[in-house]
């Protein structure tokens, strides 16, 4: 444990603000809450790691507590470490080991994505998986794309004269939603910027959230080494997934004590990067009219990044587009959390606010930067859900980015 971590513990003034902002503690008494599981129990865990309690598994790692805490206590990081301690003492379930290996699942699904997608919708198999493994039989599963983003994009030629940026697509874009990465490439091409790609490991967040910290640490080191090579050559690193971004920039440092200073300087959310271009007068702000009214859901991990809603400034440049903020808090899915049988009902109860907001606004299309938020909103409401980059790409030219 670092001395910083102990110091942060002493910072807890026991105000309980984190408890009132915890979406899980709001809907279930199975989880004692961020203060109790975080700084309160951490005092015991520092002396006796076995003091970690199994209820720590109910923390969804949404990071709402970190955002709310007036004293800057790293509550969610304490919970992640505690989950790691619990798993190293008691082991992880087979279900959690599978759900944590998002990269491995993506690679396996590559062998026959359409068969995997069909099996995911085959109810008898889903009921069996619920009974045998504990994976909810009713939660919508992400669909795998026929070709990965890296397969679809890598054949493009690199134009040496253009500004180049490196893209960290994350597993969801690579295996499930390559259209988001292609939309980014389209938007950057509109601005005469070349997107470069590279094979990375999963950021490790699903492993961290399931307490498999040793494997996550190995992947973190691999990713950081590769990214550092590009940063040394002057590249900006672009992400489209707020959770990947937060994990790489903050969790690697907080959980694994890796130095992420250069990432914090050079890694940007796609819309942060576009905002920077806009400020520098380098953005091509020439957009086609888009007469749409769309709901916007801010992912928890974008909120935790503390960069506001960078897409708002850019999307308001599109003539005809109206973006309405759902302002409904956590969607409840939180990565693998809402796929777990015992957590599905909690996840849906948390997401009820999002469902109500979509219905009250009467919107049929929603945008959100996080693939898992998109899935949960679709599952809750049936609305068509996109990444904001797909809307921006639609306004850049004649391509069809919003048809589902
Ligand atoms: S990370 Fe989210 S679920 Fe976990 S304690 Fe904090 S607010 Fe609650
Ligand atoms: S919000 Fe921060 S200071 Fe207040 S109880 Fe929670 S951890 Fe302690």
Structural domain count of the chain: 3
Spatial contact of 396 and 190, defined as CB atoms under 8 Å apart: yes
Task: Decide if 357 is inside a domain.
Answer: yes
- Co-location of 20 and 72 in the same domain: yes
- Co-location of 20 and 49 in the same domain: yes
Ligand 2 touching residue 74 (CB < 6 A): no
Closest protein CA for atom 8 of ligand 2: 12
- Co-location of 351 and 270 in the same domain: no
Closest protein CA for atom 5 of ligand 1: 34
Task: Decide if 104 is inside a domain.
Answer: no
Q: What is the pLDDT of residue 8?
A: 64
Ligand 2 touching residue 343 (CB < 6 A): no
Q: What range does the domain containing 155 cover?
A: 149-279
End of a domain among 45, 65, 90?
A: 90
Cα 13 to ligand 2 centroid, rounded to whole Å:
6
Backbone angles phi, psi at 401, to 5 degrees: -110, -10
Above pLDDT 70, what percent of the chain?
96
Residue 196 has pLDDT above 50, yes or no: yes
Task: Decide if 170 is inside a domain.
Answer: yes
d(CA 35, CA 357): 29
Residue 404 has pLDDT above 70, yes or no: no
- Co-location of 254 and 319 in the same domain: no
Per DSSP, the three-state class of 195 is strand
Alpha carbon of 367 to those of 190, 242, 338, 386: distances in Å?
21, 14, 20, 5
Residue 52 has pLDDT above 90, yes or no: no
Task: Decide if 12 is inside a domain.
Answer: yes
d(CA 46, CA 210): 20
- Co-location of 157 and 201 in the same domain: yes
Residue-wise pLDDT for 282-334, tens only, equals 999 889 999 999 999 999 999 999 999 999 999 999 999 999 999 999 999 99
Distance from first CA to last CA of the chain, Å, rounded? 48
- Co-location of 315 and 371 in the same domain: yes
Name every residue whose Cβ is closer than 8 Å to that of residue 163 and which is 6 or more positions away in sequence: 192, 193, 194
Local confidence band at 1 (pLDDT 50, 70, 90 cut-offs): very low
Alpha carbon of 234 to those of 106, 239, 356, 369: distances in Å?
31, 16, 45, 26
Closest protein CA for atom 4 of ligand 1: 59
Q: Nearest to residue 22, comparing CAs of 343, 329, 245?
A: 329
Q: What is the pLDDT of residue 184?
A: 96
Cα 271 to ligand 1 centroid, rounded to whole Å:
26
Per DSSP, the three-state class of 275 is helix
């Amino acid at each position: 444990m670092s001395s910083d971590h102990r110091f942060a513990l002493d910072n807890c003034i026991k105000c309980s603000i984190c408890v009132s902002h915890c979406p899980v503690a709001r809907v279930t008494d199975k989880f004692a809450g961020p203060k109790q599981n975080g700084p309160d129990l951490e005092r015991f865990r520092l002396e006796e790691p076995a003091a970690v309690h199994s209820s720590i598994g109910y923390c969804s790692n949404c990071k709402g507590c970190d955002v709310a805490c007036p004293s800057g206590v790293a509550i969610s990081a304490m919970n992640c470490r505690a989950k790691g301690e619990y798993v190293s003492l008691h082991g992880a379930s087979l279900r959690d080991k599978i759900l944590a290996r998002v990269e491995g699942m993506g690679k396996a699904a590559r062998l026959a994505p359409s068969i995997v997608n069909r099996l995911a919708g085959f109810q008898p198999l889903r009921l069996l998986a619920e009974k045998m493994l504990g994976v909810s039989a009713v939660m919508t599963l992400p669909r795998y794309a026929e070709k990965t983003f890296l397969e679809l994009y890598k054949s493009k030629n690199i134009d040496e004269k253009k500004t180049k940026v490196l893209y960290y697509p994350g597993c969801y874009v690579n295996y499930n939603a390559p259209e988001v990465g292609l939309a980014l490439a389209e938007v950057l091409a509109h601005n005469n910027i070349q997107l470069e790609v590279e094979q990375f490991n999963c950021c490790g967040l699903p492993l961290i959230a399931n307490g498999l910290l040793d494997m996550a640490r190995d992947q973190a080191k691999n990713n950081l080494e590769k990214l550092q090579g590009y940063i040394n050559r002057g590249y900006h690193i672009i992400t489209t997934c707020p959770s990947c971004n937060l994990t790489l920039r903050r969790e690697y440092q907080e959980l694994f004590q890796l130095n992420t200073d250069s990432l914090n300087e050079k890694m940007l959310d796609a819309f942060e990067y576009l905002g920077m271009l806009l400020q520098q007068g380098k953005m091509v702000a020439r957009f086609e009219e888009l007469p749409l009214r769309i709901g916007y859901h801010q992912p928890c991990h974008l909120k935790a990044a503390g960069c506001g809603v960078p897409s708002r400034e850019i999307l308001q440049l599109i003539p005809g587009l109206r973006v309405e903020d759902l302002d409904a808090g956590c969607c409840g899915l939180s990565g693998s959390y809402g796929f777990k049988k015992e957590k599905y009902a909690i996840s849906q109860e948390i997401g009820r606010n999002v469902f109500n907001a979509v219905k009250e606004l009467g919107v049929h299309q929603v945008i959100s930067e996080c693939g898992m938020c998109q899935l949960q909103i679709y599952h809750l409401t049936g609305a068509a859900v996109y990444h904001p980059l797909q809307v921006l790409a639609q306004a850049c030219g004649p391509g069809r980015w919003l048809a589902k």
